[in-house]
Amino acid sequence: MDADRLEHFRGILTKQLRQHSEQVRDNQQAALDMIADDGVKDSVDMSLQDVNQELQLRLGERESQAVADIDQALLRIEEGSYGVCQSCGKAIDERRLEAVPTARYDAACQSRLEAEQGLDDIPTL
């Protein structure tokens, strides 16, 4: 992939990274506003802490996975392995990368891996 295309995807990934951080902040603010409107003063301090911990935990798992995927994609751009299937080494279709900039595999390997994953889920009789 040439430098211009890499810059293009780097731009998309950097923007997504920023959006994820903003998303976390917005969700936290929304939860805090909701609690503040509740008006039950006595129990607020305790429950606020609980809700915050719960929120951090849930957002943390999902968002940190998304952020890790983006980080790794950015790292692959630095290393020069971005846009190359990590399974078969072929170039990933750029239309696929436009749709999923963090894609690690081309479409063929992705479906193969998903099929293998699916087989593992079938209980052994």
Classified as helix, coil or strand, 84 is strand
Residue 111 and residue 87 in contact, taking contact as beta carbons nearer than 8 Å: no
C-beta of 10 vs 96, nearer to Zn ion: 96
- Closest by alpha carbon to 9, among 84, 83, 65, 105? 83
The nearest distance, CB 73 to Zn ion, in angstroms, is 16
Q: Cα separation of 104 and 83, whole Å?
A: 7
The nearest distance, CB 71 to Zn ion, in angstroms, is 22
If one asks whether residue 106 binds Zn ion (CB under 5 A), the answer comes out as yes
CA 70 to chain centre: 6
- Interface with Zn ion: number of residues (CB under 5 A): 5
C-beta of 77 vs 85, nearer to Zn ion: 85
Q: Which of residues 71-90 bind Zn ion (CB under 5 A)?
A: 85, 87-88
Region of 12-20, 52-60, 66-74, 107-115 interacting with Zn ion (CB under 5 A) = 107-115
Amino acid symbol at 115: A
C-beta of 27 vs 110, nearer to Zn ion: 110
Q: Cα separation of 23 and 6, whole Å?
A: 25
The nearest distance, CB 112 to Zn ion, in angstroms, is 8
C-beta of 13 vs 83, nearer to Zn ion: 83
Q: Cα separation of 63 and 49, whole Å?
A: 20
Which residues contact Zn ion (rule: CB under 5 A)?
Answer: 85, 87-88, 106, 109
